[in-house]
Amino acid sequence: MDLADRHVVITGASGALGGAVVDALVERGAIVHAPMVEASPPPSAVWLASPKVLTKPAVDLADEDAVARYFAMLPSLWASVHLVGGFTMSAIADTRAADFDKMMTLNARTCFLACREAVIAMRRSGGGGRIVNVGARPVVSPAPNLVAYAASKAAVTAITQSLAVEVASDQILVNAILPSIIDTPANRASMPMADFSAWPKPRELAAAIAHLISPANAVTSGALIPVYGRG
């Protein structure tokens, strides 16, 4: 219960990784705040029944004013975990500017806005805090046909490392995990011939995130942590 009654924001809680992170943090005693763009939480989410999960539907995490309003209403914030994002894959000749812009909005802009407002909220509380973002393996291990996606995730890693230096004196630690292909139903369906056993599991990534936001992590900041599984 190392996060007992600490308030934690999780963006992207409605996704496969998000659900695993919510479960992991609730098990550790956290009070989870889950803003989501959907008009209502997914009925399949088992964490809906938990009194420690407070959802807020219809929050556009790419909208500056909406994100600022959401974080401003939160109680004393300990941690913010930013999982919302998107993926696209195409050869450079087939990648439109609109595709590039969409990746930058879904991955980089949402990360920037959530980081900014989380820092403001943590400074208001005055007790330090933790921020975790999600980059991607192609940022450090390039792969073809991922220019738009990789560029947006590179922005996430740059935000992470720059911010870690900026807020060090506030005792706010900022890190990012860099997953490879995550073992989710959607990824299995899109790559049915792959070796699923080699992919990192959402619960494994959730455990890594839980450690990074734990008070037990007192020194790690600005790290880009590979979570590749066996791939």
pLDDT at 44: 78
Query: What integer pLDDT is reported at residue 42 of this predicted model?
Result: 80
Q: What is the pLDDT of residue 47?
A: 83
H-run or E-run covering 62: none
pLDDT of residue 110: 98
61-64: which pairs have CB atoms within 8 A and are 24 or more residues apart?
61/11, 61/35, 61/37, 61/110, 61/113, 61/114, 62/105, 62/106, 62/109, 62/110, 62/113, 64/113
CATH classification of the domain holding 38 = 3.40.50.720
pLDDT at res. 40: 85
Residue 157 counted as domain residue: yes
Asked if residue 200 belongs to a domain, the reply is yes
pLDDT at residue 39 in the model: 87
How many folded domains does the chain comprise?
1
85: three-class secondary structure by DSSP: coil
> Is residue 54, in this structure, part of any structural domain at all?
yes
Q: Which domain holds residue 41?
A: 7-227
pLDDT at 231: 63
Q: What is the pLDDT of residue 148?
A: 98
* pLDDT value at residue 190: 86
Q: Would you state the pLDDT for residue 217?
A: 97
Mean pLDDT by 10 residues, the chain (231 residues): 94 94 96 93 82 96 98 97 96 98 98 98 96 97 97 98 98 97 89 89 97 97 94 63
Predicted pLDDT at 160:
98
CB burial class (10 A; 0-12, 13-18, 19+) of residue 87?
middle
